[in-house]
A and B are shown apart, each in its own frame.
Chain A
Amino acid sequence: MVEYLYFVISLLSVLGGASLLLLLTHREGDDLYRLNHISVLFLVVALFAALMQWNLGTRGYLLEGLFGKVLYIDDFALLFDTMFITGTIMTLLINTEYFANRRYFNGEYFALILFSLFGMMLLAHSHELVTAFIALEIASLSVYALVGYHKNNLVSIEAMMKYFTLGSIGGILFLLGSVIIFAATGSTELGAIAQYTHKGSADLTPVIIGATFIMIAVMFKIGAVPFHAWVLDVYEGAPFPVTMFMASTFKIAIFAIALRLYIVDFVPMHGTWTHLLELMAALTMLGGSWLAITQKSLKRMLAGSSIVHSGYMLIAITSIGLGSNIAASAIIFYLIAYFVSSVGAFGILSFISATSRKELTYDDFKGFSERRPYMAAMMAVFMLSLAGFPSTIGFLGKFYIFTAAIESGEFFLAGLGIAMAFVSVYYYFKLIAMIYFYPNKEPQKELVFNSSTLLIILLAAVVVLGGMGSGLIPYMPSADGFIDIATAAVGALGTPLR
């Protein structure tokens, strides 16, 4: 019993940290820096615990004696753990200045972030539909509260209410799907469901209906058209650190359960869904890019573009369904690539908005290269990566996805994806053009070396390194390393455990 605790150190650390932070934040005028450091401390412990278990081939139920077959651990879950924790650490450290300059922040912010992280990690480990639902709701409820954290700001409150209302519909659909699946298979445990769906003789109709509802909930979370409408408003209304958290970390969380279900349990439904997914992928890419090109605010542009990125991931999901060998690794690689690049891009945005109250439109970036030359260069790197420019990790992400699409015969989607990548060059490079091709009026600012800037530089290095061949730096994965990680994570899913 006790030796199994080793595998839950990271979960416990996050949960413990969140609870402790709740206790610590009873006073007015908390020392936010101190609370920030305490959260990061717990997160670092969790990160190390997750990394220690990575790639040891660990597979099995977590605390089976206590919870039964509810929680599961494998490399797939660990990869998501690592990304979630890293994303949260980045969110906390990069925004050190942001909440220090905002009156409305207090200690509960940290507790909420950690609870949301705990929910996401639980989601990655859950091996049962109701647990997954609860985990998803833990994560979502914390994020709802975070979106409306600026309680005196009407936009923020409105965004929270929109998100909450629409998110509830998504949650309900997930629950509805689970119930129908339970009715059909007699279990909500993923292993049992997989056994049922792979049996061959069973009537799959109710399972397909249930699974489709779960899929709709997933589509809502990743903002696929036509379930996308909340994305722009919510991203815009939320405080910057929260937008960063949502766009980079929370956005990929749903994949932790969706891919597990899709690759293992819902294999027989792949054929049914193909046309639906194709349609949705095309609509999502088109709709997202239509929304992104017309925006003036960077937050809204990035929100629109994040919809386009969901569209790319839908291409990969379609390819998995059509039996492509590399599509599953491709989507994980894409998640990593998108995660790194968007953390960086949003990180810079919120880092800048920490001290200025501007709305951050394209125009605000005119002459940025002269004001902050290093930050400008990093921003350019992240934009290049998001646009999928060669020698960045974003390029390889798109490359693998399009390769997988072509391998599975999805020529139209691959072509459309490439066309949308061209369009995306417009709205990403527009920012680069603003940064570099306009005169500057304000004086140059010194580059201050603190945790925020160092982390942003580190992320930019990962983006560039991840786009290049073999490992130049020890212990630092580059393109080869990331694709190995993605393959290992997918390999861990494999066939369901009996």
Chain B
Amino acid sequence: MLLDLILLAPFAAALVGGLLYLYDPQARREKIYSIIALTPVLLGAVLSLVIGWSFIFGETTHIESTLFEWLHVGDLRIALTLSVDRLSMVMLFFVTFVGALIHIYSAGYMSGDSGYGKFFAYLNLFMASMLLLILADNPVIMFIGWELVGLCSYLLIGFYYREEAAIPAANKAFIVNRIGDFVFIMGVALLFVTVGVNGFGFTAIEASITKIDTAMLSLIGLLLFVGAMGKSAQIPLYVWLPDAMAGPTPVSALIHAATMVTAGVYMVARFDFLYSRIPGVGEFIAVIGIASALLAAVIASYQSDIKKILAYSTVSQLGYMFAAVGVGAYSAGLFHVFTHAFFKALLFLGAGAIIIALSHEQNIFRMGGLRKDSRLLYYTMLIATFSIAGIPPFAGFFSKDAILVSLLSTGHYTLWSLATFGVFLTSYYMFRLFFAVFHARSYGFRVLKPLPLTMTVPLVVLAVGTATLGLLGVGGTFGNFLGLADIHAEADHTIEYLLAIFNLFVVAAGAGLAYRLFAQEAEPPNEESRVRRLLVHKFYIDEIYGYVFVKPLYFIASFTGNLIDHKVLGRMILLGVEGYRRAGEGFGKLQNGRVRFYTLYMLVGISYISYYLLSILGGI
């Protein structure tokens, strides 16, 4: 019941708000829209707290609720069943909580926009879809949510459809995601075929997973992970996420940082029973994760758009999560998902506030000296930066530390050293951003727009969360609560402490470098040397993709479209049509309106049938 309400309320709100908007798009009724949109989300946050309470302090370990049977074809029965176990409870908690805060923030941020009602209808639809993804009891329903969040992401990236960059960015996000989704559904289908008919819920799959041989299982695991690559922006499908920043900033915070992009990690953790049987694929996932983390971190170090930097940092942090779940440390990965949701949402909301305050300036090298202008922004962003860089006692420290420990203790020394280098880069580019925005010499005279309360309160709440929630991970509390199929590799506590201290030095080195370079006089990256140009242009990945995939496709499309389709097939079909029409006219001539002819046709028919009967019965 509670679950149904959590899921259906935002769906209903999206419907009502959307219809209200469609009824009269010009009408300005921000208050009604925000009430419609905020009620279900706040309700969801409260209800998920109630559920969380019963999980943590009560005996509950599993809640289930079946809405209706969605599909029934032969042996295939797919019910729309919602279920919460500890894993999805954690997801549920932060999605509703961060979601609610970002909804409140958006009420202020979007104020005055002509598409206010549309925005909240989309945002509510996104919340509902994300919850469907999380609460789904079987991969098929999960896939529905998976597709719906992709759709919402597309709609919201293209929200400012009048801007030049928005529509290509939205298309890019959708198309790249579709590539992943297609492979994902192939994985789900393969899983269905191999699992057989004993039900297709996650528990049922877990029960019959031993029937599948390892090679097939590896293939399924790989296919599913390609889906995660798309949704969670990993190499090679990460290219859509930086462009997705064309959407409104709260959207970037909610969808492209805190919730949707972590769906891939969640999916891998959901299938922990599957991936723990195929460590080879897990290694591959971890390698992809670390590669994405490093590549994105390097690119982020040479960007100057504040949202792009944050987007690349999201790719990078997601890489860490995949590295963790790849080596089998599911709870470490999930813990980073959890803390990341808070500090990354805070970073984006802070960035959004800065952008609004500076009248839509996004270049960090044209900001500078904001420390004096807004204490609130300064301290909240400082907390977030500390957290993502990994400075105790802020949340990011604990989760990132857990990932590094798990990499080391499972014996992945190369990955660990690369990840540590990534920590250095993270610290460098985040403090680069921070110093350039808040410390560096002020860039000209300006008047900051005042921020409404709806925007500042979420910032403070998220900052408190970022500062404190990391403590949940102390002593493995978080991981024990989740109870996932973690790999068992206990590291010596001395090594853990030494590692933490070592990491602190790495972070300090990165921060120090950033301080030296950007704290006083922030200069945008120049393009003097060939290497630098390569970095500023993001390794020309987009251009390479353009040449390798897009251009040939265009060529094939225009070839088939203009030549084969138009000239060959089209002509043939027209010829056939003409022939058929002629035949019709000829046949129509028989229809001459004279009864004697009609009788004749009947007699011919009767004669033929009689002849036929004779030939069968009489043996002529």
Residues of A within 8 A of B (CB): 161-162, 165-166, 169, 173, 205, 208-209, 212, 216, 219-220, 226-227, 229-230, 232-233, 272, 275-276, 287, 289-291, 293-294, 423, 470
Contacts and interface: CB of A to CB of B under 8 A. Distances in A.
B581 A294 contact: yes
A302 B591 CA distance: 15
Nearest to B614: A209
B612 A293 contact: no
A294 B602 CA distance: 23
6 contacts: A169-B599, A209-B617, A226-B602, A233-B593, A290-B588, A294-B584
B113 interface: no
Contact of A294 (B72, B588, B605, B609): B588
Interface string B473-504: 00000000000000000000000000000000
A166 B616 contact: no
Interface in B583-610: 583-588, 590-591, 593, 595, 597-599, 601-602, 604-606, 609
A165 B613 CA distance: 26
Instruction: Please list the 7 inter-chain residue pairs (A to B) with the smallest Cβ-Cβ separation, ordered nearest first.
Output: A229-B598, A290-B584, A226-B605, A290-B587, A226-B601, A294-B584, A293-B584
B580 interface: yes
Nearest to B606: A216
Given A208-B613, A209-B613, A291-B588, A227 B583 contact: no
A206 to B, nearest CB: 10
A280 to B, nearest CB: 8
A226 B581 contact: no
Nearest to B584: A290
B175 to A, nearest CB: 25
Contacts of A272: 613, 616-617
B612 A276 contact: yes
A294 B617 contact: no
A290 B583 contact: yes
B500 to A, nearest CB: 56
B602 A169 contact: yes
Contacts of B616: 272
A291 B609 contact: no
Given A165-B595, A230-B598, A287 B617 contact: no
Given A205-B617, A209-B617, A294-B588, 8 more contacts: A165-B595, A166-B595, A209-B613, A219-B605, A226-B601, A272-B616, A289-B584, A290-B588
Nearest to B602: A227
A279 to B, nearest CB: 9
A229 to B, nearest CB: 4
Contact of A216 (B588, B604, B609): B609
Contact of A220 (B586, B587, B597, B602): B602
Contacts of B590: 229
A230 B601 CA distance: 11
Contacts of A226: 601-602, 604-605
B617 A208 contact: yes
Contact of A276 (B584, B591, B599, B609): B609
A405 B545 CA distance: 48
A104 B6 CA distance: 64
Nearest to A230: B598
B588 to A, nearest CB: 5
A470 B73 CA distance: 11
Residue of A220, A232, A290 ringed by the most chain B CB atoms within 10 A: A290
Nearest to A295: B588
B597 A229 contact: yes
A293 B580 contact: yes
B440 to A, nearest CB: 60
Residue of B598, B601, B617 ringed by the most chain A CB atoms within 10 A: B598
B209 to A, nearest CB: 30
Nearest to A480: B72
Contacts of A293: 580-581, 584
A290 B591 CA distance: 11
Nearest to B597: A229
Contacts of B588: 290-291, 294
Nearest to A232: B591
A166 B600 CA distance: 11
Given A208-B617, A209-B613, A216-B609, A166 B587 contact: no
Interface string B79-112: 0000000000000000000000000000000000
Residue of B583, B591, B593, B616 ringed by the most chain A CB atoms within 10 A: B591
B584 A166 contact: no
B601 A227 contact: yes
Contacts of A166: 595, 598-599, 602
Contacts of B580: 290, 293, 423
A423 B599 CA distance: 28
Nearest to B588: A294
A287 B585 CA distance: 11
Interface in B557-601: 580-581, 583-588, 590-591, 593, 595, 597-599, 601
A294 B581 CA distance: 7
A337 to B, nearest CB: 20
B618 to A, nearest CB: 9
A161 B609 CA distance: 26
A292 B593 CA distance: 16
Contact of B613 (A212, A291, A294, A470): A212
Contact of A162 (B598, B604, B612, B617): B598
A229 B606 contact: no
A226 B602 CA distance: 6
Nearest to B69: A470
Contacts of A220: 602
A259 to B, nearest CB: 20
A415 to B, nearest CB: 15
A209 B617 CA distance: 9
Contacts of A276: 609, 612
Contacts of B587: 287, 290-291
A161 B585 CA distance: 26
A408 to B, nearest CB: 20
Contacts of A208: 613, 617
Nearest to B585: A294
Contacts of A219: 605
Contacts of B72: 470
A42 to B, nearest CB: 36
A209 B584 CA distance: 34
Contacts of A233: 591, 593
Residue of B597, B599, B609 ringed by the most chain A CB atoms within 10 A: B609
A436 to B, nearest CB: 21
Contacts of B586: 290
Contacts of A162: 595, 598
Nearest to A271: B616
A264 to B, nearest CB: 22
Contacts of B602: 166, 169, 220, 226-227, 229
B611 to A, nearest CB: 11
B115 to A, nearest CB: 27
Interface string B349-389: 00000000000000000000000000000000000000000
Contacts of A287: 587
B136 to A, nearest CB: 20
A161 B599 CA distance: 13
Contacts of A227: 601-602, 605
Contacts of A423: 580
Given A229-B590, A229-B591, A212 B609 contact: yes
Contacts of B595: 161-162, 165-166
B604 to A, nearest CB: 6
Contacts of A216: 605-606, 609
Contacts of B601: 226-227, 229
Contacts of A230: 598
Nearest to B71: A469
Contacts of A173: 606
Contacts of A291: 584, 587-588, 591
Contacts of B69: 470
A441 B437 CA distance: 63
